[in-house]
Structure 1
Amino acid sequence: MHFSFETIPAFVWALITTYAIYWIKNSRLSKNEPPMVPYKIPIIGHTLNYLFNAKNFMAECRQKYGDPFNIYVFSQVMTIAGNEIAHEVFRTDVFSLSSATRDTFPLHRVLKSFDEPETIKRVVKTIREGITAKLPLYTGRMQKQLMISINKEIGDCSNPKFFITANKDFSSIIARPVADILVGQKHLRPVLEKRLKDKEILDDKYEPPLDIIEYLLKNPEYETKVITDDYLNKICDFLFIIIVVSIHTTSRHLTSALYDFAGRPELWDDIYEEQVRIDKECNGELSSQHINKMVKLDSFLRESLRTIDTVGM
């Protein structure tokens, strides 16, 4: 066989391609992993079977390879555990939602204060005193921003619509009112500088805006006379943590409540009739008094929130 300089690059590329296919097909597994179900198509793996024939595919895999087993879906290894051993997975100390979240969403690498023990305490205190205590004052603003988000993300539902990931849609809907309440609608530095200047000039006549920024400015821990880069980083870190936590928690609980509601058709008419009645009373503009009248919805949501739990904490 004759080799020339022209054939060497082609030969090298053939080796690289062969190795890449081998590397992709032999998914990276740690020691003591469950068996990997073989697949024929690199990169795609078992994705098509998982999407379009999941029930039969899972049953066949469980019959051949036992429980648990690994499949390759969406370019990553996924471990499947059946109901026979699921309780062992949930009870083991090896798995931790906190550590898994740090791996998939390493917020602690961006925000220095994220790992500080006092951060969560400050977040809880801020939400309790700055939002929950003033919730009636926020109701109108939240409704306005929610309607904008709902019209944008869901739109007209005169014909049925299909949503694949309710949690993702809820996150997009909730993001707007959360951002409006926490940071307002403009860039932060000029807003902070203007408020400090207005406080100095107006003194007792100063009318504080209703948002978390103003709450923090009154907090001795965040009190300042000059907006420096360090101060801006500190307050932005804290606000970012609150926003992420608020959107994630609210969308997760709303998604759970939606599935609870879908599974209880005997409650649909009663809750719907209550909403229609109150909507007529408020003429489309909710207040805290109107929300307090939603007794049936309140009872349903309380029960849904009571039963939801995060596995693996």
Structure 2
Amino acid sequence: MASWQIIVAGVVGVIVVSIVTNVLSQVLFRDPNKPPFVFYWIPWVGSAVSYGMDPYKFFEDNRKKFGDVYTFMLLGRKLTVALGPKGNDFVLNAKLNSVSAEDAYSHLTTPVFGKGVIYDCPNYRLMEQKKFAKGALTVRAFQSYVPLIVEEIRQFWFKSPEFFGGNSDRPSGRTDLSVALPQLTIFTASRTLQGKDIRAKFDESFADLYHDLDRGFTPVHFVFPNIPIPITFKRNAAQKKVSDTYMEVIRERRRTGDLSEFDLINTFMKDAVYKDGVRMSDREIANMQIGILMGGQHTSASTSTWAMLHLGADKEIQNALYEEQVAVCGENLPELTYENLQELPLLNSVIRETLRMHPPLHSLMRKIRSDIAIDGTRYVLPKGEYVLAAPGVPMIDPQYFKDPLTFRPRRWEETRNIINLNDSSEAAVISKGAKSPYLPFGAGRHRCIGEQFAYVQIGTILSNFVREFTWTLPPGSSVPTPDYSSMVTLPNKPCAIVWTRRRISEKK
């Protein structure tokens, strides 16, 4: 036998022995004090393929077999899923000494955001950082943001003829939302949250750098954060360049002393002093801007795209949104204001319904710091493993939402914040608490602080599109299925709309 044949036979033998050993260990050694385990054939890989292709199908298939609590293997990590409102509460409201988001995510996020912020610091520091950020998320700030967002939308239409006709006043066209809306949301978010000097950078190569940062959030980086491949090198270079750019802006603002705008950079420069008297460094402030803009842009781009697609498939709701604009703002449709947005219940129901059907994140993980028992069971989860909440599961569960897979914004007018009020199922109140069946922004200490800004940004974008255009999906197409290959759940391509400008007489 040739030497290469011996090597191949040896490798095959090792693989076979590993698989057999793995299977026997699952079949013969079951711990009654641990949740049921999802069977898998290939060691280390586990259920990565089925979970990665469609996590919601994976959750539901295994819930039918095991109930709301079970464990699966994901690329060498043991994750215990806890489904439903009780599962959300167990994971998202767990004590800090029991589970940790920082331990679960810091290896993935720190190379992208930078040192000293988000998950690269003790939890009490992150809680204070979130508090600092709220200074730029006030009603007064939102009132100033709406006209800036409107201005950005109009400039986007004018400067992007490939999307919406530009200055040609083209009466109709077709647009790929997967390209157009991520651009628009990052333009509007950077202008409002970070100021005109940062927004100006996005007309150059800055957006490409953010794209390189975004590509650092991949499943392979979750397991091997510093794997030596081209996208890792680009991620690292982009992080330094973007952080240095924010540093230049911070230095210039300190030089001029002009901190008058309501934006996050100014807020952190003025107020970011921790309770122990330590002030955030300028580098940490710069890194914080990366994390906030990436987090907000991803979720708003996703939600805006899904909303536009569903409205393209539902002409009745689209027309009702236009009529609501006229009724609230007046027949001549003057400039939209923050106060207008508060008086548009159908618009806000559209956003709410979109988030119900398409929450940006399908899984929220925590690493277990000390052995933790699951109430009502005999299960004890050991330190070093992971727990996973899936807030999107109850949001498409018929126990809580009638016809859950149907886009029906008016359900929010009917529920009065109580799901299945007149149904035989137990009523469930919609709230910000971790036991709520509706948690698109998470819950607990890590709940997203950007909910109000998201409604302002997305609401302003949708309002202006409804005023200017009518649109449908391309002939013969339907709302796309979700793409779960990235961190944020986006529509599969193609996700296009066919639009027509409203007649001038129609808008008066």
Q: TM-score band (shorter)? A: 0.5 to 0.7
SS at match of 2:38: coil
Report the residue type matching 2:348 in the other structure: L
Are residues 211 and 92 of structure 1, via their aligned partners in 2, closer, same or farther at CA, if it must alter by over 3 Å?
Answer: closer
Range with bigger deviation, 70-79 or 241-250: 70-79
1:273 aligns with one of 299, 323, 334:
323
Structure 1 CA distance for aligned equivalents of residues 311 and 104 of structure 2? 30
* Aligned twin of 1:184: 199
Are residues 129 and 311 of structure 1, via their aligned partners in 2, closer, same or farther at CA, if it must alter by over 3 Å?
Answer: closer
Are residues 44 and 33 of structure 1, via their aligned partners in 2, closer, same or farther at CA, if it must alter by over 3 Å?
Answer: closer
Q: Say whether the 8 Å CA contact 2:186–2:297 is kept in structure 1.
A: yes
* Aligned twin of 2:7: 9
**Aligned-pair CA distance for 1:120:** 1.4
Structure 2 CA distance for aligned equivalents of residues 154 and 131 of structure 1? 29
* Aligned twin of 2:148: 138
RMSD of the TM alignment (CA)?
6.0
* Aligned twin of 1:120: 130
Q: Say whether the 8 Å CA contact 2:37–2:71 is kept in structure 1.
A: yes
Structure 1 CA distance for aligned equivalents of residues 312 and 331 of structure 2? 25
Range with bigger deviation, 260-269 or 130-139: 260-269
Q: Say whether the 8 Å CA contact 1:170–1:251 is kept in structure 2.
A: yes
**Aligned-pair CA distance for 1:153:** 8.6
Counterparts of 1:211-222 in structure 2 under 5 Å? Answer: 211-214=263-266, 216=268, 219=270
Structure 1 CA distance for aligned equivalents of residues 145 and 91 of structure 2? 39
Range with bigger deviation, 303-312 or 12-21: 303-312
SS at match of 2:35: coil
**Aligned-pair CA distance for 1:123:** 0.8
Q: Say whether the 8 Å CA contact 2:132–2:268 is kept in structure 1.
A: no
Does 2:13 align with 1:18? no
Structure 1 CA distance for aligned equivalents of residues 25 and 153 of structure 2? 48
TM-score, normalised on structure 1? Answer: 0.56
Identity of aligned residues (%): 11
Report the residue type matching 2:136 in the other structure: T
Are residues 4 and 51 of structure 1, via their aligned partners in 2, closer, same or farther at CA, if it must alter by over 3 Å?
Answer: closer
**Aligned-pair CA distance for 1:124:** 0.6
Q: Structure 2 stretches of 5 or more lacking a match? A: 166-170, 202-244, 274-279, 353-416, 418-429, 431-437, 445-508
Q: Say whether the 8 Å CA contact 1:146–1:177 is kept in structure 2.
A: no
Q: Say whether the 8 Å CA contact 1:37–1:70 is kept in structure 2.
A: no
Higher share of residues assigned helix: 1
* Aligned twin of 1:67: 67
**Aligned-pair CA distance for 1:184:** 2.8
Structure 1 CA distance for aligned equivalents of residues 155 and 30 of structure 2? 47
Are residues 233 and 207 of structure 1, via their aligned partners in 2, closer, same or farther at CA, if it must alter by over 3 Å?
Answer: closer
CA deviations 1:74-127 (Å, max 9, x no partner) are: 99988777xxx7354244368759957545532468441433032111111133
1:234 aligns with one of 273, 278, 284:
284
Are residues 37 and 75 of structure 1, via their aligned partners in 2, closer, same or farther at CA, if it must alter by over 3 Å?
Answer: same
Does 2:345 align with 1:287? no
TM-score, normalised on structure 2? Answer: 0.39
Q: Say whether the 8 Å CA contact 2:135–2:267 is kept in structure 1.
A: no
Does 2:253 align with 1:243? no
Structure 2 CA distance for aligned equivalents of residues 294 and 128 of structure 1? 15
Does 2:35 align with 1:33? yes
Higher share of residues assigned strand: 2
Are residues 100 and 87 of structure 1, via their aligned partners in 2, closer, same or farther at CA, if it must alter by over 3 Å?
Answer: same
Structure 2 CA distance for aligned equivalents of residues 258 and 210 of structure 1? 29
Report the residue type matching 1:9 in the other structure: I
Structure 2 CA distance for aligned equivalents of residues 119 and 247 of structure 1? 19
Counterparts of 1:93-112 in structure 2 under 5 Å? Answer: 101-102=101-102, 105-106=105-106, 107=109, 110-112=114-116
Are residues 253 and 80 of structure 1, via their aligned partners in 2, closer, same or farther at CA, if it must alter by over 3 Å?
Answer: same
Are residues 70 and 279 of structure 1, via their aligned partners in 2, closer, same or farther at CA, if it must alter by over 3 Å?
Answer: farther
Are residues 90 and 259 of structure 1, via their aligned partners in 2, closer, same or farther at CA, if it must alter by over 3 Å?
Answer: farther
CA deviations 1:173-198 (Å, max 9, x no partner) are: 5233212331333333444444455x
* Aligned twin of 1:225: none
Q: Say whether the 8 Å CA contact 2:189–2:296 is kept in structure 1.
A: yes
Structure 1 CA distance for aligned equivalents of residues 264 and 48 of structure 2? 47
Q: Say whether the 8 Å CA contact 2:45–2:76 is kept in structure 1.
A: yes
* Aligned twin of 1:301: 348
Are residues 91 and 128 of structure 1, via their aligned partners in 2, closer, same or farther at CA, if it must alter by over 3 Å?
Answer: closer
**Larger RCO, structure (CA 8 Å, separation 6 or more):** 2
Are residues 76 and 176 of structure 1, via their aligned partners in 2, closer, same or farther at CA, if it must alter by over 3 Å?
Answer: farther
Please identify the structure whose Cα radius of gyration is greater: 1
Are residues 79 and 26 of structure 1, via their aligned partners in 2, closer, same or farther at CA, if it must alter by over 3 Å?
Answer: farther
Structure 1 CA distance for aligned equivalents of residues 22 and 156 of structure 2? 44
